[in-house]
């Protein structure tokens, strides 16, 4: 039976560890509960926010509407020749799924090891790391359409995935709730070592023929060494996106800053490393009140304990201003700001 709680602290439901309250809070363990919830028209007209692991959001103040926490569980898998199809409830923890697949030698998501968050959130921003993005293993997702109460399947094309983007963040934002995701993996590993740090760490370990388990372990090792663990230091991973600029602007910047870290894109534009830009402005490892940037990765803002959402937001604005002043590049926040 669906229960709606009132005045719930969200501290343990967001990895930033921000202590803000939700006016209403519903936990969904079965998709029928969404039908039941929206059968009451009150919730159609209330501000809503759907959360999974709460790992990509910053609560700037109390949330006066309804928080819907997705907790639908279950992992089912089917093998057909070398193809593996895995259907997963939105509420499963992303890294538990990665481990489930790596343990069974289902290849494709090993580079995405240790990304925080839930499976249901993974398509929304097309999570990615170490040369692989969610879209590379995504088959389809099952969604609930809030306005009609109908369930609809989105194919990969329907989702219009881009860099940290999908249709669920843009044209269809707020209209659908992801209840499950189907992945397409393989029994034949296609080891992806495009990202130099993985290859280097494999060499350090004397591994010449890496298995997907080796890759998963190496990626986890790199993440732990660079990124703060949200269970001890509140954070939401990369706070900003890596900015993409045109070739002309890049040429001028490179003259002035010959070391500027850059990744040319297939379309001729250039992606810059936001972490590098922020570090050059002197922010890396800096503490400001209860917040700051992480000592090993300036792109990650952290809660050193007791930070408010406003404090973190204000730091992010200062960072945006100083990067703009020094480089003329405007950083965009990647984290979902709830205000
Ligand atoms: N760099 C600095 N200073 C810093 C941080 C980075 O100079 O403080 C430089 C690094 O030396 C490197 C470059 O910037 O040359 C890129 O750094 P890194 O390899 O750490 O990757 P990133 O571009 O900063 C992205 C993703 C991460 C993902 C890593 C690895 C975005 C916004 N972030 O970070 O994703 O784990 O690549 O693939 O695309 C996340 O989204 O929450 C996240 C952690």
Domain containing residue 85: CATH number:
3.30.465.10
Atom of ligand 1 nearest to the CA of 116: 42
Report CA 285 to chain centroid distance, whole Å.
22
Looking at the DSSP bridge assignments, the partners of residue 77 are 86
Structural domain containing residue 54: 4-70
pLDDT value at residue 196:
87
Whether 209 is in a domain gets the answer no
Which whole-number Å values give the CA distances from 203 to 40, 80, 223, 228, in the listed order? 58, 34, 17, 25
Q: Rounded to the nearest 10 degrees, what angle do helices 94-103 and 212-226 cross at? A: 150
Q: CA–CA separation, 70 vs 58, rounded Å?
A: 18
**Which residue's CA lies nearest to atom 27 of ligand 1?**
129
**130 alpha carbon – ligand 1 mean position (Å):** 9
- 4 within ligand 1 shell (Cβ under 6 A): no
Residue positions annotated with a catalytic role? 164, 238, 334
This prediction has a pTM of 0.95
Query: And the tokens for 257?
Result: 């800053």
Looking at the DSSP bridge assignments, the partners of residue 235 are 302
Rounded to whole angstroms, the maximal C-alpha distance in the chain is: 64
Which whole-number Å values give the CA distances from 316 to 60, 116, 280, in the listed order? 12, 21, 15
Q: Which of 186, 221, 254 is the last residue of a domain?
A: 186
pLDDT value at residue 162:
96
Specify whether 86 is located in the same domain as 64.
Answer: no
Whether 146 is in a domain gets the answer yes
Residues in the chain predicted with pLDDT less than 70, given as ranges, are none
Whether 101 is in a domain gets the answer yes
Whether 215 is in a domain gets the answer no
Q: Which of 41, 70, 99 is the last residue of a domain?
A: 70
pLDDT value at residue 52:
96
- 276 within ligand 1 shell (Cβ under 6 A): yes
Give the closest residue to 283 by CA, choosing from 230, 220, 325.
325
**129 alpha carbon – ligand 1 mean position (Å):** 9
Which whole-number Å values give the CA distances from 250 to 247, 271, 280, 328, in the listed order? 5, 9, 16, 11
Domain containing residue 31: CATH number:
3.30.43.10
**Radius of gyration for the chain, computed over Cα atoms and rounded to the nearest angstrom:** 20
**243 alpha carbon – ligand 1 mean position (Å):** 12
**242 alpha carbon – ligand 1 mean position (Å):** 8
**Which residue's CA lies nearest to atom 20 of ligand 1?**
297
Domain count, the chain: 3
Specify whether 129 is located in the same domain as 58.
Answer: no
Q: Which of 53, 70, 87 is the last residue of a domain?
A: 70
Which whole-number Å values give the CA distances from 222 to 195, 228, 238, 325, 330, in the listed order? 11, 11, 15, 32, 28
Residues for the chain: how many in total? 339
**23 alpha carbon – ligand 1 mean position (Å):** 36
Whether 213 is in a domain gets the answer no
Which whole-number Å values give the CA distances from 305 to 134, 178, 227, in the listed order? 32, 32, 17
Q: Candidates 127, 229, 275: which one to mutate for ligand 1, based on the most atoms within 8 Å of Cβ?
A: 275
Q: CA–CA separation, 289 vs 281, rounded Å?
A: 19
- 233 within ligand 1 shell (Cβ under 6 A): no
Tell me: the pLDDT tens digits for 146-201?
999 999 999 999 999 999 999 999 999 999 999 999 999 999 999 999 898 999 99
- 334 within ligand 1 shell (Cβ under 6 A): yes
Specify whether 66 is located in the same domain as 84.
Answer: no
**Which residue's CA lies nearest to atom 4 of ligand 1?**
275
Query: And the tokens for 101?
Result: 């697949």
Specify whether 82 is located in the same domain as 179.
Answer: yes
- 261 within ligand 1 shell (Cβ under 6 A): yes
**297 alpha carbon – ligand 1 mean position (Å):** 7
- 275 within ligand 1 shell (Cβ under 6 A): yes
Cβ-contact 157, 168 below 8 angstroms: no
Tell me: the pLDDT tens digits for 228-245?
999 999 999 999 999 999
Whether 196 is in a domain gets the answer no
Q: What angle do CA 150, 155, 159 make, to 5 degrees?
A: 90
pLDDT value at residue 117:
96
Q: Candidates 230, 276, 316, 335: which one to mutate for ligand 1, based on the most atoms within 8 Å of Cβ?
A: 276
């Amino acid at each position: 039976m669906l229960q709606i709680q009132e005045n719930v602290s969200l501290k343990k439901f967001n990895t930033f560890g921000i202590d803000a309250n939700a006016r209403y809070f519903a936990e969904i363990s079965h998709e029928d509960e969404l039908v039941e919830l929206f059968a009451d028209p009150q919730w159609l007209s209330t501000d809503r926010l759907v959360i999974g692991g709460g790992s990509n959001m910053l609560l700037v103040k109390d949330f006066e509407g309804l928080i819907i926490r997705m907790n639908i569980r279950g992992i089912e898998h089917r093998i057909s020749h070398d193809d593996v199809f895995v259907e997963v409830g939105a509420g499963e923890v992303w890294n538990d799924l990665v481990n489930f697949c790596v343990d069974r030698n289902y290849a494709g998501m090993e580079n995405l090891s240790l990304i925080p968050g839930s499976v249901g959130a993974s398509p929304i921003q097309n999570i990615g790391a170490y040369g692989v993005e969610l879209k590379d293993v995504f088959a389809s997702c099952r969604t609930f359409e809030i306005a009609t109460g109908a369930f609809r399947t989105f194919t990969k094309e329907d989702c219009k995935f881009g860099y940290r983007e999908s249709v669920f963040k843009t044209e269809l934002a707020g209209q659908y709730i992801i209840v499950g995701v189907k992945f397409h993996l393989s029994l034949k590993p296609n080891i992806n070592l495009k990202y130099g740090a993985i290859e280097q760490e494999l060499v350090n370990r004397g591994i010449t023929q890496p298995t997907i388990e080796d890759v998963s372990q190496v990626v986890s090792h790199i993440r732990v060494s660079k990124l703060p663990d949200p269970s001890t230091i509140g954070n939401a991973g990369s706070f900003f996106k890596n900015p993409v600029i045109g070739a002309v602007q890049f040429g001028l910047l490179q003259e002035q800053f010959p070391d500027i870290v850059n990744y040319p894109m297939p379309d001729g534009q250039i992606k810059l490393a936001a972490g590098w830009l922020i570090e050059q402005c002197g922010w890396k490892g800096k503490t400001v009140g209860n917040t700051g940037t992480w000592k090993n990765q300036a792109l990650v803002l952290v809660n050193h304990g007791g930070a408010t959402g406003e404090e973190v937001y204000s730091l992010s604005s200062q960072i945006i201003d100083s990067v703009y002043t020094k480089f003329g590049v405007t950083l965009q926040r990647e984290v979902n700001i709830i205000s």
